[in-house]
Amino acid sequence: MAWRMPAETAPHDRIWMAFPREGEVMGDSSAARESTYAAWVSVAHAILPFEPVTMVVDPSELARARRLLDPAIELVDAPLDDFWMRDIGPTFVIDDDVNTLGAVDWIFNGWGDQGGSFANDARIARLVAEGAGATIVSSLLVNEGGAIHVDGGGTVLVTETVQLDPQRNRYATRETVEAELARTIGAHHAIWLPRGLTRDYEPLGTRGHVDMVAAIASPGVLLLHQQGDPGHPDHAVMGEIRAAVEASTDAAGREWRIIELPAPTQVRDDEGFVDWNYVNHLVVNGGVIACGYGDQAADARARGLLGEAYPGREVVTVDAREILARGGGIHCITQQQPSVPVPVPVPVPGPAA
């Protein structure tokens, strides 16, 4: 099979999510837990006008999910350890030759074996693949969906501190990672970014997911996080990342047209420097679901820039502060299932009159 991961702007059949469940990530108070449920529900409801949503729900949370979610959202009952669907779920791919949906089952080890049990999460990719009717594409690469971003034409963005992380892929090299990405998602041109945002290297962080710093909006057009405050460590980090991007081209040899998405004005919270960004958005059929941070001017500016980057799509902002406080963004809690093109029948000439 010749698998290819379509661009996120390609048509979708649905969005997959996972419903929050009690645990460390939920926070240490009832208010924090309720806010987490509310944030995930808000994202699901924002997606629903654009395309169907299927939610994987731990058995312990089924009653709550039924109470809080729109009945139009399909629920799938399965044990969960966590609820970051972009990372625990499969990466969907298509074989264009035979119009078949596939799903890459990466090895998931809890973002680099950082402790805790993730046995249930490690099985979710296959469960989702089976629910989608997809052919399972097995991989021995430890990887997560938030650690890659593609243009659908052979380009993939990756980070040195994720795929080459010794706690993920101890013996990997750039060459072996690139070969596996070419086999599984059809990306033959890798752009290696040096790292991710500062907060991503704290305990339980992903150590450099690309979907917090960059996204390909269309062929040759790259959205890049911008931290304008020189006192924030990510100001220097993004300078490194931009330099790496500017030194590269996409798979077709195009130089990048870079659109910077300026961060909100708030730079710290109770835990330290924030990783708030607008790069971590979800493209849906006819729309974009964008992170909001209660900064009206910055949120509006981001909506305008995303609207320009994705012409013809409605940009909807959802308050994502509770999601970022748990360790990710809207892109991190969702996974798109691309539509498989329907072959157009070739007319067969009838007999001559």
Tell me the C-alpha distance between 36 and 21, whole Å: 9
3-state helix, strand, coil in the chain (%, to 5): 30, 25, 40
The strand pair at 314-319 and 287-292 is best described as parallel
Selecting among 129, 181, 187, 332, the annotated active-site residue is 332
Phi, psi (degrees; rounded to nearest 5) at 181: -65, -35
Tell me the C-alpha distance between 241 and 20, whole Å: 32
Q: Is 214 helix (H, G, I), strand (E, B) or coil?
A: strand
Tell me, rounded to whole angstroms, the distance of Cα 156 from its chain centroid. 13
Q: Among all chains, which residue has been given the structure tokens 């013996």?
A: 171
Count of alpha carbons within 13 angstroms of residue 175, beta-carbon side: 0
Structure tokens, 136 = 């399972």
Tell me, rounded to whole angstroms, the distance of Cα 143 from its chain centroid. 12
Tell me the C-alpha distance between 223 and 283, whole Å: 13
Alpha-carbon Rg for the chain in angstroms: 20
Neighbouring C-beta atoms of residue 323, cutoff 10 Å: 24
Tell me the C-alpha distance between 206 and 327, whole Å: 9
Terminal CA-CA length for the chain: 42
List C-alpha distances in Å: 31 to 20, 26, 35, 349.
Answer: 14, 10, 6, 68
| Contacts for 179 with CB less than 8 Å, ≥ 6 apart | none
- Of the candidates 177, 183, 171, the residue with the CA atom closest to the CA atom of residue 157: 177
Active site residue 332: yes
Active-site residues, by number, are 332
